[in-house]
Amino acid sequence: MPDLELRKLWKLHLVDHQLLDLRHRAAALDPGRKLLGELAALNAELEAKEAHAKALHAEQTDIELQQKTIDEKVKKLDKELYGGKFVNPKEVAVMEAEIVNLKKKRGDLDGQLLELWETLPPFQKETEEIREKVRAKKAQLDEFQKQVLVVKAQIEKEFKERSAARPQLAKEVAPAMLSRYELIRQKHAGTGMAGITRKGSCEACGTNLPTKTIEMAKEGKLVTCESCHRLLYFTEGLI
């Protein structure tokens, strides 16, 4: 059985291992990358639709302006034609031809405007559907991120509790043993000890341990893994 001092160090290691795990969990928290990507794609689609809608409305305004200009010209020509200003047959014929030409252009513009009016409703419906998808995706993202914040708060709470417990556990370990442990821990990204698995391997690096090393660990002696050099602890086959 491991001696009391080694057991104290193992308790400290477990807290350090938990702190390390909490750090990893915090770093791995997903802010909703997939949802953010989907939202970005929907926003891009919506922006394209809105830009197209703006172009359609600009086209409609331009057509209506052309119609107004033609109507004013026709009205002016009609007034001049039937007001007695022009009596020369040739001049009258030119004006009548111009009026016919303007009305033809007006008819073409009417056709363009009618076609545009037929295009707008389904296009506006598509745009609103995308806008609704954006709203739904934002709501989904907000809910997801709220849940992440709950998990983050729990991790922070546990980290604070473990951190508060560590100093007292460290005080209970013999200084020489603690110094050795801390040095190894610094070299191995926060893990200075490892349990011996049921298969007789190092829990940390997976190296199969010599029988002699395992026996010494069972006797409570301070031994290390010959591969990763972490301090070993016999957990009585619990791992």
pLDDT digits (tens, 9 = 90+) for 62-110: 999 999 999 999 999 888 877 776 667 888 888 889 999 999 999 999 9
What is the overall mean pLDDT for the chain?
A: 92
Instruction: Count how many Cα atoms sit within 13 Å of the Cα of residue 102 in the half-sphere of its side chain.
Output: 19
Q: Is the pLDDT of residue 2 over 60?
A: no
* Residue 191 near residue 203, CB atoms below 8 Å: no
What is residue 1's predicted lDDT score, i.e. its pLDDT?
Answer: 44
**Domain limits, the chain:** 4-26+174-234, 31-168
19-23, 36-40, 168-172, 189-193: least confidently modelled range: 189-193
Token digits of residue 102? 């303007």
What is residue 237's predicted lDDT score, i.e. its pLDDT?
Answer: 52
Burial 5-28 (b: 16+ CB within 10 A, else e): bbebbbebbebbbbbeebeeeeee
- Write the DSSP assignment of 177-192 as a string of letters: HHHHHHHHHHHTTT--
Mean pLDDT of the 7-21 span: 95
pLDDT digits (tens, 9 = 90+) for 179-226: 999 999 999 988 999 999 999 999 999 999 999 999 999 988 999 999
